[in-house]
Amino acid sequence: MKQTNHYRLLKLRELLFAETDEENEVTIYDMQEKLMHLLELEKLDIRTLRKDIEALQSMDFDIVENRRAHGKLYYSHQNKLFETYQIRLLVDAVLSARSITPNEKRILIEKLKKLTSTHIQKTLPSPVMFSKTVNKDHELVKLDIDRIHRAISERKVLQYKYGDYDVDKQFNLRYEGRWYYVEPYALIWQNDLYYLIGKYRGNNEIRHYRLDRMRETNITDMPFVIEESFQLQPYIDKSFQMFSGEDIRLKIRLENGLLNPMFDRFGLQVDVKPDGDDHFILTTKAKQSAGLRGWILQWGAAAEVLSPESLVAEIKEEITNMVTNYAPQVETEKE
């Protein structure tokens, strides 16, 4: 099969990109053999191949030349668009995203692998090993992401239906399939899930919705203007485990061993003050919700809510209910 010089140059570029990296090199004779096979050539002059390498280098395709023992010259392309650790970060992010279906994860990861050499591809995790998702039957999420970003950019109201799974793992629409009309402010990725944040036109409240629970998403012709007072990061910071609730000023007493977990959660700018030798008091804005209660209770006796009183009462009630749940079992064991 006769091939043009441009086609041969393209195949040489593909070969160097796919089969070489920082740890893997090829000689000019390796390239000659592989290209003759790929292009179905009976012969390929080494001098022609050297000119092709120079041509690629002149077009800013980085080719590293490494002279080893006995003067043998090895070639490799190392300056990939993404470094290996960056590819791994992207692959891990895809694998951990619970909103993305297993099939879509497989497709995305195969595309990400093409950004590096075949040798590094073999070291990347397989999507088959990771199947934890609550969205196995909703392949349209990828289309919804595009629609939502477009609606945010164009400042157009979104229309969709919303639902939940029941104990039989069946998805049911809320309010008998009633339409939701929401002014989309932002689409974020939190707790390995996508959330739409925006103003619900039913009562003009700022709310958030899980993307994988949205159905029949459409962009309407209705324009909107984002409230000037809305700030995305403070909204996210106050929404523990992405639960909605009433804004409060939280004051909580914690053991010193929890200082770094608090910095991890709130950042170094959070208001903390020492309280004796073993404790500190943290003050921050939050949303009073089931998510906040769950977050506080995970620290057990190492955390004590000081205010507001309404949250203190909720925590006490939750603890009482927990004790009640286990009380019959405790009594039985004593008998």
Q: Rounded distance, CA 105 to CA 99, Å?
A: 10
Whose tokens are 């629609």? That residue is 147
- Cβ distance 186 to 210 under 8 Å? no
Q: State whether CATH 3.30.70 applies to domain 235-326.
A: yes
Burial bucket for residue 94 (CB in 10 Å: 0-12, 13-18, 19+): buried
Residue located via tokens 């895809």: 94
Measured between alpha carbons, how far is residue 66 from residues 25, 69, 120, 130, 190 in Å?
Answer: 9, 10, 20, 39, 45
What confidence category does residue 161 fall into, taking pLDDT thresholds of 50, 70 and 90? very high
Residue 190 has pLDDT above 50, yes or no: yes
200 or 270, greater pLDDT:
200
CB atoms within 10 A of CB 286: 23
Q: Which residues of 204-227 are buried (b: 16+ CB within 10 A; e: fewer)?
A: eebebbbbbbbbebebeeeebeee
| Residues recorded for the chain | 335
Contact (CB, 8 A) for 63 and 51: no
**Which residues make beta-bridge pairs with 76?**
64
| Residue among 295, 301, 299, 252 at smallest CA distance from 275 | 252
Q: What is the pLDDT of residue 94?
A: 81
Whether the CB-CB separation of 262 and 272 falls below 8 Å is answered with: yes
Cα dihedral sign, 4-7-13-16 = negative
Question: Would the pLDDT of 245 be above 60?
Answer: yes
Instruction: Note the CATH number of domain 141-228.
Output: 2.30.30
DSSP 266-284: H-TTSEEEEETTTEEEEEE
N-to-C CA span, the chain: 88
Euclidean distance between CA atoms 317 and 311, whole angstroms: 10
Q: Which residue has the tokens 């195969």?
A: 110
pLDDT at 184 over 70: yes
Q: CA dihedral in degrees (111, 116, 117, 118; nearest 10)?
A: -30
Statement: residue 59 has pLDDT above 70: yes
Which DSSP helix (H) or strand (E) runs through 37? helix 28-39
Lowest model confidence (mean pLDDT) among 12-16, 81-85, 131-135, 244-248: 131-135
Within 10 angstroms of residue 50's Cβ, the number of other Cβ atoms is 11
> What's the pLDDT tens digit per position in 203-239?
998 999 988 889 999 999 999 999 888 888 888 877 7
- For residue 333, the SS3 value is helix
What token pair was written down for 37? 């096979």
pTM score, whole prediction: 0.56
Domain boundaries along the sequence of the chain: 5-76, 84-116, 141-228, 235-326
Read off the pLDDT of each residue in 276-299 and give the average, rounded to a whole number.
91
Contact 93, 34 (CB under 8 A): no
pLDDT band of residue 334 (cuts 50, 70, 90) is: low
- For 88, the token pair is 């791994």
**Average pLDDT, stretch 134-160?**
79
CATH topology of domain 5-76: Arc Repressor Mutant, subunit A (1.10.10)
pLDDT higher than threshold 60 for residue 129 = no
